[in-house]
Chains A and B, each alone.
Chain A
């Protein structure tokens, strides 16, 4: 007889009030694991223990599995906490009764659970009534800002036991936002978080009498408490258009000065059926619609810009406007850098002249993310003139940066609502990007190696390289009359080659773009045709 090695993961199945067969199905999936270093605890009602044990042992006894009943009949979350407390392995996870693990789940998790990793999560999907898998939830790598308003980590979620305990464990009062609450609290203190981009968790279909997994009110509280703990300057509300989603509203407590830097040459184009001076229209929309009180507008204007265009710009900008003449040959990146050098604020919004403000609190919204020094840049949701999506962050697929959901309908929610909730991404377009001056200066601003295209992608990748994060903010919305800002739609091969020479590895494996999409065309985040040509914000 050989000694059983000590378990490395404890799985807890909360089965109080559920059909015994469901608990057995969950345990069955554990017994099929390719990695044997686990233990399981099934928590059932006192009068259910015998039937659950019988259902589990129908395939023979397994001393790794215990079935217990809590001392007192209590809420499901309390029963789960009781089950967790009865186990001992250094990592712990839980399954809703009837949910199943992929056969390699334990093996993959233990391989990923390095010494400094306190939280591991995997992709998941749903089982229909016939056991067929559907609705895959393919997730990005660790994304703190994504988790703020969306419980994207879901299941399977495996926590280092000590970290879970330090974070406060299970809180029964937030049972209906359990996964979100625990992920937020553990995420706050985890030394490392690993994502396994494989579907290793399968949710069972609802059974009669099963309780919903989530409730918006509990989620609001979980998020609000998280914001309080980390000092995030926002309040929490339901998204009025999608009440199932959480929406963050910027707090009006701290309002540092902001500089909006706009490079321009006074171009006129047809917008909204009118021939408009783009920069004057842009500045006019900022001044008229913005609610933010303390900002200046720094326009970097080509020297040969005609006097009428300048006069219109001056009239639109009023006292907030400062004009910086630009006398060098055209170089978008350099124009931005020059504007930033003349700007006076610590917070900088880089803005294309072919944009127009939609949401009045756009600066407040971008700023609430950028207050965290670990966030290097925040990008806005940009729309074409007809409202279709133009920018919701940048992803890299096959070495090419591109815009997901490019041209998709205005109200498109995206995979796991990633067009409607904040996400972390490798880059955002500089057509509208808020960044901190210290970040800008520490990475050398926009690189002159990219005079027209990809300077924004390169800039954001430099931020990632220096340990900062980049965030897409869905609540700061602007029009971007992109086609009207470009002389041509072509992208220089040289610039793309230079980008790959710097960042080839990241572009081949975007941490925020699940590789699962690449092998499963049905779920590939659709990229616009010629995605590579659609990225840079150069105007």
Chain B
């Protein structure tokens, strides 16, 4: 039998101490069996708290009968590594030596080859129910893993079990509803908050359009002006050329004769 590559109980030393303290405080347990060989020294943390704690030497040992009782049995990230038939016997063994089992088994790691017995939490709840153990719906064990739960030997009648489950279900439903309402409220606030930003975005983009139109318009008018200048300069050149030609004629012999003739004609008048 192999071991899981990653377990929820691979906790740092201070985290192990904190988890053990919380369990001892919450559940007032004086003796603990840690049936999780991979928990990495949780029994030491219990010993530090003067709790009578034992640890199973290996995962295989979980299928062997046990010879004493405990206030609490920890079965964390173990049974998903045990073949289904052995897992049932293991649960029988564990439940036989205690009235409280803190149970956790990953419901997701189907692709991990060493995990041969992965089930959803409700499947484990059903198996534990066959041993007479029912989930304590008031105890939140998710500080260990998101799917950890405390199971207790139950002598309660079925209606009371249903009542307890229904109470928990109702509380969760109420919580979900309130959270959803709050989300909608936040969403509306967000929209209100972003509306001015969207308006500002539109305003800026429109302003950009205006600026670009202005630029192209100026370029166009500049082109027009340059064209006009070109035309006027060409006209001016023609005038200058004509004037120069006239000057040349006036300075020539013909021009001098012409001017003399004009003067003579003026005198004759």
Q: How far is the CA of A447 from the CA of B215 in the complex (A)?
A: 11
Which B residues touch A444, using CB under 8 A?
208-216
Q: How far is the CA of A5 from the CA of B71 in the complex (A)?
A: 118
Q: Give the residue name and chain of the B residue nearest to A342 (CB).
A: B202
Which A residues touch B48, using CB under 8 A?
none
Which B residues touch A338, using CB under 8 A?
202, 206
Binds A, one of B72-80, B164-172, B220-228, B233-241: B220-228
With both chains docked as a complex, state the minimum distance between the C-beta of B136 and any C-beta of chain A, in angstroms.
52
Which A residues touch B210, using CB under 8 A?
444, 448
Instruction: Check B205 for interface membership: any CB of A closer than 8 A.
Output: yes
Which of B209, B211, B215, B220 sits near A503, CB closer than 8 Å? B220
Contact B224 A502 (CB under 8 A): yes
Instruction: Check B219 for interface membership: any CB of A closer than 8 A.
Output: yes
Give the interface SS of chain A, mostly helix, strand, loop or mixed: helix
| Most A C-beta atoms less than 10 A away, residue of B202, B206, B213, B219 | B213
Instruction: Check B217 for interface membership: any CB of A closer than 8 A.
Output: yes
Which A residues touch B214, using CB under 8 A?
444
Which A451-477 residues have C-beta < 8 A from chain B? 461-462, 465-466
Q: How far is the CA of A505 from the CA of B206 in the complex (A)?
A: 29
Which B residues touch A445, using CB under 8 A?
209, 212-213
Contact A462 B216 (CB under 8 A): yes
With both chains docked as a complex, state the minimum distance between the C-beta of B259 and any C-beta of chain A, in angstroms.
42
- Known contacts: A444-B209, A505-B223, A505-B227. The answer to whether A341 contacts B202 by CB under 8 A is yes
Which A residues touch B219, using CB under 8 A?
465
Contact A447 B206 (CB under 8 A): no
Which A395-452 residues have C-beta < 8 A from chain B? 441-445, 447-449
- Known contacts: A442-B212, A443-B212, A444-B211. The answer to whether A461 contacts B220 by CB under 8 A is yes
Contact A337 B206 (CB under 8 A): yes
With both chains docked as a complex, state the minimum distance between the C-beta of A118 and any C-beta of chain B, in angstroms.
26
Instruction: Check A504 for interface membership: any CB of B closer than 8 A.
Output: yes
Instruction: Check A71 for interface membership: any CB of B closer than 8 A.
Output: no
Place the interface of chain B in its size category.
10 to 19
Contact A501 B224 (CB under 8 A): yes
- Known contacts: A341-B206, A466-B216. The answer to whether A502 contacts B221 by CB under 8 A is yes
Which B residues touch A342, using CB under 8 A?
202
With both chains docked as a complex, state the minimum distance between the C-beta of A510 and any C-beta of chain B, in angstroms.
15
Which B37-62 residues have C-beta < 8 A from chain A? none
Contact A447 B220 (CB under 8 A): no
With both chains docked as a complex, state the minimum distance between the C-beta of B179 and any C-beta of chain A, in angstroms.
31
Q: How far is the CA of A448 from the CA of B223 in the complex (A)?
A: 20
Q: How far is the CA of A441 from the CA of B207 in the complex (A)?
A: 11
Q: Give the residue name and chain of the A residue nearest to B205 (CB).
A: A341
Which A residues touch B213, using CB under 8 A?
443-445, 447-449, 462
Which B residues touch A504, using CB under 8 A?
224, 227
Which A91-148 residues have C-beta < 8 A from chain B? none
Which B residues touch A441, using CB under 8 A?
208-209, 212
With both chains docked as a complex, state the minimum distance between the C-beta of B225 and any C-beta of chain A, in angstroms.
10
> What 1/0 flags go to A501-530 for Cβ under 8 Å of B?
111110000000000000000000000000
Q: Give the residue name and chain of the B residue nearest to A505 (CB).
A: B227
Contact A501 B221 (CB under 8 A): yes
> What 1/0 flags go to A212-254 for Cβ under 8 Å of B?
0000000000000000000000000000000000000000000
Contact B205 A447 (CB under 8 A): no
Q: How far is the CA of A501 from the CA of B220 in the complex (A)?
A: 8
Which B residues touch A503, using CB under 8 A?
220, 224
Which A311-355 residues have C-beta < 8 A from chain B? 337-338, 341-342
Which A residues touch B212, using CB under 8 A?
441-445
Q: How far is the CA of A461 from the CA of B209 in the complex (A)?
A: 16
Q: Give the residue name and chain of the A residue nearest to B201 (CB).
A: A341
Q: How far is the CA of A502 from the CA of B211 in the complex (A)?
A: 16
Contact A502 B206 (CB under 8 A): no
Contact B209 A502 (CB under 8 A): no
Q: Give the residue name and chain of the B residue nearest to A498 (CB).
A: B217
Q: Give the residue name and chain of the A residue nearest to B225 (CB).
A: A501
Q: How far is the CA of A501 from the CA of B209 in the complex (A)?
A: 20
Contact B202 A443 (CB under 8 A): no
With both chains docked as a complex, state the minimum distance between the C-beta of A439 and any C-beta of chain B, in angstroms.
11
Q: How far is the CA of A501 from the CA of B93 in the complex (A)?
A: 99
Which B residues touch A501, using CB under 8 A?
221, 224
Which B residues touch A461, using CB under 8 A?
220
With both chains docked as a complex, state the minimum distance between the C-beta of A503 and any C-beta of chain B, in angstroms.
6
Q: How far is the CA of A253 from the CA of B224 in the complex (A)?
A: 43
| Most B C-beta atoms less than 10 A away, residue of A338, A445, A461 | A445
Q: Give the residue name and chain of the B residue nearest to A504 (CB).
A: B224
Contact A337 B209 (CB under 8 A): yes
Contact B224 A505 (CB under 8 A): yes
Q: How far is the CA of A502 from the CA of B215 in the complex (A)?
A: 11
Which B residues touch A443, using CB under 8 A?
212-213, 216
Contact A447 B223 (CB under 8 A): no
With both chains docked as a complex, state the minimum distance between the C-beta of B231 and any C-beta of chain A, in angstroms.
10
Q: Give the residue name and chain of the B residue nearest to A462 (CB).
A: B216
Q: How far is the CA of A415 from the CA of B267 in the complex (A)?
A: 68
Which B residues touch A337, using CB under 8 A?
206, 209
Q: How far is the CA of A417 from the CA of B221 in the complex (A)?
A: 35
Contact A465 B220 (CB under 8 A): yes
Which B172-210 residues have C-beta < 8 A from chain A? 202, 205-206, 208-210
* 10 closest Cβ pairs, A-B complex: A444-B213, A444-B212, A502-B220, A445-B209, A447-B213, A444-B209, A462-B216, A505-B227, A504-B224, A443-B216
Known: A337-B209, A338-B202, A465-B216. 14 other contacts (CB 8 A): A338-B206, A444-B210, A444-B212, A444-B214, A445-B209, A445-B213, A448-B210, A461-B220, A462-B216, A462-B220, A502-B220, A503-B220, A504-B227, A505-B223
30 contacts between A and B (CB under 8 A): A337-B206, A338-B206, A341-B205, A441-B208, A441-B209, A441-B212, A443-B212, A443-B216, A444-B208, A444-B210, A444-B211, A444-B212, A444-B213, A444-B216, A447-B213, A447-B217, A448-B210, A449-B213, A461-B220, A462-B213, A462-B220, A465-B219, A465-B220, A501-B221, A501-B224, A503-B224, A504-B224, A504-B227, A505-B224, A505-B227
Residues of B within 8 A of A (CB): 202, 205-206, 208-217, 219-221, 223-224, 227
